[in-house]
Amino acid sequence: MSAILPPAERLWWKHPLDRVEGTWIVIAFIWCMIMFAMMVGWHIYGKQNLSTETYKTTPELFSKKAQDVVDKYTVRKETDKEIPVVHPPPGSDVYLVARLWDWWPIIELEKDKTYKLHLTSMDFNHGFSLQPVNINIQVVPGYEHVVKVTPNQSGTFSIVCNEFCGIGHANMAGRIYVK
């Protein structure tokens, strides 16, 4: 049997640690602890990551909730597909459905008012990307993502699917109006 090192010398943990090796291990450990603390800090104080609640759901249950909100708060219809524009009162739950290849319905919110935005997918994974503010959420079938939103700018915001979902992926766009 042959080996590069004799059997007794192959057990690296039995060899004494060199001073330079120990220094680099300490530096790497300290850097890891700094980065870990920064991730927690960015989440709490940096306001860069959305805190979402996630619940299991079924397409039927979520569709019913979304349809109830649409029936109650529709103010008009837009586009050639006659997509309803929903204007719920502040503090209410707003439902947004992702399905091949639409975001449904169009939502109209009021500036500086808080809403609970519920997201789910009816078929495949979709990516909720709100532009130009660059909010990204992975929308997964069978799960309802709940995000508290308080729009602080007026305007028209585009919802883009940033997770490839099939041949109509490039046309999967939605809208949120903030007045």
Q: In this predicted model, what pLDDT tens digit does every residue of 113-148 receive, in sequence order? A: 999 999 999 988 999 988 888 788 889 999 999 988
Query: What pLDDT does 166 receive?
Result: 83
- Between CA 69 and CA 5 the distance in angstroms is 72
- Pair 179, 110: CB distance under 8 Å: yes
pTM over the 0.95 mark? no
List alpha helices for the chain, DSSP H.
19-45, 59-73
Which CATH superfamily includes the segment(s) 52-178? Cupredoxins -  blue copper proteins (2.60.40.420)
User: Domain residues of the chain, as ranges?
Assistant: 9-45, 52-178
What CA–CA distances, in Å, run from 7 to 2, 10, 14, 18, 55? 10, 5, 12, 21, 54
Beta strand 52-56 with 83-86 is unpaired
The model's pLDDT over 48-72, given as tens digits with 9 standing for 90+, comes to 656 778 899 999 999 999 999 999 9
